[in-house]
């Protein structure tokens, strides 16, 4: 059985990986190697915009276009909540 290198993260945490299974059925051994890392950038700027509110920046809404954008939004809001909580403890 020949090995096939798959440059991606395996999804075995949600059951059998469909790509590795497909290669196995075809007589190959699929080996998944994650080669990408998502890093959130410009978080201080996002937190500042959220903290200042929509009126300061004349915003009528927020459009979240991806899972990564959702993660960034969530991280910014959580950090702002923690900061507000710490400020209230003083």
**What are the pLDDT digits (tens) for 41-60?**
999 999 999 999 988 989 89
pLDDT digits (tens, 9 = 90+) for 18-32: 999 999 999 999 999
DSSP code per residue over 25-87? HTTEEEEE----------HHHHHHHHHH-HHHHT-------SHHHHHHHHHHHHHHHHHHHHH
pTM above 0.75, yes or no: no
Give phi and psi for 69, each to the nearest 5. Answer: -65, -40
pLDDT digits (tens, 9 = 90+) for 59-75: 899 999 999 999 999 99
Residue 89 scores a pLDDT above 80: no
Name the band, by pLDDT with cuts 50, 70 and 90, for residue 90: low
pLDDT at residue number 15:
82
């Amino acid at each position: 059985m020949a090995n096939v290198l798959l440059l991606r993260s395996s999804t075995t945490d949600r059951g059998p990986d469909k790509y590795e299974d497909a290669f196995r059925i075809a007589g190959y051994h699929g080996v998944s190697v994650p080669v990408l890392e998502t890093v959130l950038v410009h978080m201080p700027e996002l937190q500042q915009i959220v903290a200042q509110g929509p009126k300061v920046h004349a915003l009528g809404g927020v459009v979240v276009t991806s899972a990564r954008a959702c993660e960034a939004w969530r991280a910014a809001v959580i950090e702002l909540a923690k900061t507000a909580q710490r400020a209230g403890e003083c």
